[in-house]
């Protein structure tokens, strides 16, 4: 699927080629070469925010209105640890996989506020996202999304160290 698309998109092909790097990563106690490509995480986060709204309707029958707070982000290990506690809140919960693991998600909807949902998405088995200038040696494997109609909501960005 990738090669035909790149053949039709010379600009994307140039950007990926220019940003491609080989990095050495630890695998089972050994170092192995891995490819790193530039990636606009913000676009994946925006997509996951829309998916979370759709899944909220699909699974819970609730429309997330336009004035609702919808926050998406890729979190480092610290953020994952803190945010994972919120995923354990009491509520309507589900775990699902689409495309034989190509897209996995877990979500919970609060029993007190139907618009308060928390989602964790894993794409292609946990694609590693890295390169955040604030955490250059950290990577993320999940995209998290929160929705809430009230002013008090879980802002993912506040979970990350400054």
For the chain, 162 residues long, give each residue's pLDDT as a single digit of tens: 678 878 899 898 888 888 888 888 777 788 888 887 877 888 888 999 999 999 999 999 999 999 999 989 887 777 788 778 888 888 899 999 999 889 999 999 998 889 999 999 998 887 777 766 666 667 778 889 999 987 655 555 555 544
Structural domains counted in the chain = 2
The pLDDT, as a whole number, for residue 87 is: 83
The pLDDT, as a whole number, for residue 46 is: 93
Question: Does one domain contain both 77 and 128?
Answer: yes
Question: Does one domain contain both 31 and 54?
Answer: no
Question: Does one domain contain both 14 and 84?
Answer: no
State the sign of the Cα–Cα–Cα–Cα dihedral 150, 132, 108, 101: positive
Question: Does one domain contain both 20 and 79?
Answer: no
Phi-psi region of 100 (alpha: psi -120 to 50; beta: other; left: phi over 0): left
Question: Does one domain contain both 119 and 67?
Answer: yes
Question: Does one domain contain both 66 and 24?
Answer: no
Question: Does one domain contain both 24 and 46?
Answer: no
Question: Does one domain contain both 31 and 107?
Answer: no
Give the residue numbers spanning the domain of 11: 1-37
CA distances from 17 to 6, 10, 136, 139 (A): 11, 10, 21, 22
């Amino acid at each position: 699927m990738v090669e035909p698309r790149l053949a039709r998109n010379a600009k994307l092909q140039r950007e990926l080629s220019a940003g491609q790097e080989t990095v050495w990563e630890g695998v089972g106690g050994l170092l192995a070469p891995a490819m790193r490509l530039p990636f606009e995480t913000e676009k994946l986060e925006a997509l996951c925010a829309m998916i979370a709204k759709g899944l909220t309707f699909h699974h819970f029958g609730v429309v997330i209105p336009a004035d609702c707070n919808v926050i998406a982000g890729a979190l480092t290990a610290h953020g994952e640890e803190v945010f994972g506690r919120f995923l354990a809140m009491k509520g309507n919960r589900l775990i699902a996989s689409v495309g034989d693991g190509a897209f996995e998600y877990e979500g919970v909807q609060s029993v007190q506020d139907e618009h308060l949902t928390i989602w964790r998405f894993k794409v292609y088995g946990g694609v590693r996202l890295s390169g955040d200038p604030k955490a250059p040696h950290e990577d993320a494997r999940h995209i998290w999304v929160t929705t809430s109609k009230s002013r008090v909501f879980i802002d993912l960005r506040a979970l990350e160290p400054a």
